[in-house]
Every structure is written in structure tokens, then in C-alpha cells.
């Protein structure tokens, strides 16, 4: 199965069907030689990014954002030949998405707060100086930026109501 076919399929499927396909493809490409825990951590980063909305509104948008995950980095003609690894990636993707539907405090998070990961023996991105969350297998996971916006409380000063018998008429639009 070619990567280009999977990416095409993800574009034509409805989002609820496309997202698990995109997540499984990312897990396969990024972590097929890693433990289940390492694969789960990769899936978690993609899901956390989706929730943030900074890289896209769907898993497919997140993992196909330019140069963010393997689906946009490896050659689209790549043949995904390891059926056993593909089946495992699909299983991990479905389990991760199922768990991610739980409220934040009830999820089984493998790499809490991680927004990025890298195989530091292959690449040394500039953001790799960020706080490290964990190293699982070949990947080191980082909290590069806060993905949930801080709570902002704004107080808006209110103008005093005009006085006089026709005050309500002056306030009306």
C-alpha cells in the first residue's frame, strides 16, 4: 500500500473515518519499530496538537501540516509493506482516540503535556532545548509550548447611565 493512496483516501473519506487512518499512518511511519508505549506517545502528541487547534482542526490536518509529521516528510511513493506493523499502528490509533475522548483528567496519558518529539540520533531540531517530558525508545518527547490557552479574565468598565427623563431613549440603539 502506497502512502500517496492512504493520503488520497484520507481526503475523500468523511473526517470521522479519515482521522483514525491518518493517525495510524503517522504511528506507522514515525514509530513502527517502537514499543506499543512509544507508538501510543506519538499518537498522543498528534491528538494533543489537534485539541490545541494550532496545527489544524482534525487529526488529518495536524499530521499533514507541512513538515510536522512523517506523512509530509517521507516520499509519497513509499510502500507500507509491514502488514503486522500496520495492524499494530491501526490498533494503537483506535485505542488512543478512544482514550482521548475521556475528560482530560481521566486519560491514560503517556507523555503528559508533550507537544513535540524527535529521534535525537537522527535530528536535532532547535526546539529540542525545551523541557523534556520522557524518552521512550528512540524518541524524546518535549513540552515546547503550552497548548491550552491560559484562562483570561477580562473586566470591561461600564459607563454610568445618563441621568434624566429620556435617559433610556439615549441608550437605545
Percent share of the chain, pLDDT over 90:
80
pLDDT digits (tens, 9 = 90+) for 66-122: 999 999 999 999 999 999 999 999 999 999 999 999 998 899 999 999 999 999 999
How many angstroms separate the CA atoms of 95 and 97, rounded?
A: 5
Query: Within 10 A of 165 (CB to CB), how many other CB atoms are there?
Result: 6
**DSSP element (H, E) containing 118:** strand 116-118
Question: What letters, b where the CB count within 10 A reaches 16 and e where it falls short, cover 72-88?
Answer: eeeeeeeebeeeebbeb
pLDDT at position 49 over 80: yes
pLDDT reported for residue 41:
98
Extract the C-alpha cell encoding 91.
Answer: 490498533
Query: Residue ranges per domain, the chain?
Result: 3-106
How many angstroms separate the CA atoms of 26 and 156, rounded?
A: 45
pTM: 0.82
How many angstroms separate the CA atoms of 139 and 45, rounded?
A: 12
Amino acid at each position: 500500500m502506497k502512502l500517496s493512496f492512504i493520503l488520497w483516501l484520507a481526503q475523500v473519506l468523511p473526517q470521522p473515518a479519515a482521522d483514525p487512518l491518518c493517525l495510524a499512518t503517522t504511528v506507522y511511519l514515525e514509530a513502527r519499530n517502537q514499543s506499543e508505549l512509544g507508538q501510543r506517545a506519538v499518537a498522543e502528541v498528534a491528538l494533543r496538537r489537534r485539541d490545541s487547534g494550532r496545527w489544524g482542526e482534525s487529526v488529518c490536518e495536524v499530521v499533514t501540516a507541512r513538515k510536522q509529521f512523517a506523512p509530509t516528510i517521507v516520499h509519497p511513493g513509499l510502500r507500507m509493506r509491514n502488514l503486522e506493523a500496520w495492524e499494530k499502528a491501526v490498533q494503537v490509533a483506535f485505542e488512543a482516540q478512544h482514550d482521548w475522548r475521556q475528560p482530560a483528567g481521566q486519560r491514560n496519558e503517556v507523555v503528559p503535556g508533550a507537544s513535540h518529539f524527535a529521534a535525537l540520533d537522527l535530528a536535532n531540531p532547535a526546539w529540542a532545548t525545551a523541557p523534556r517530558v520522557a524518552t521512550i525508545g528512540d524518541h524524546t518527547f518535549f513540552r515546547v509550548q503550552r497548548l491550552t490557552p491560559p484562562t483570561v479574565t477580562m473586566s470591561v468598565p461600564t459607563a454610568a447611565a445618563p441621568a434624566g427623563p429620556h435617559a433610556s431613549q439615549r441608550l437605545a440603539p
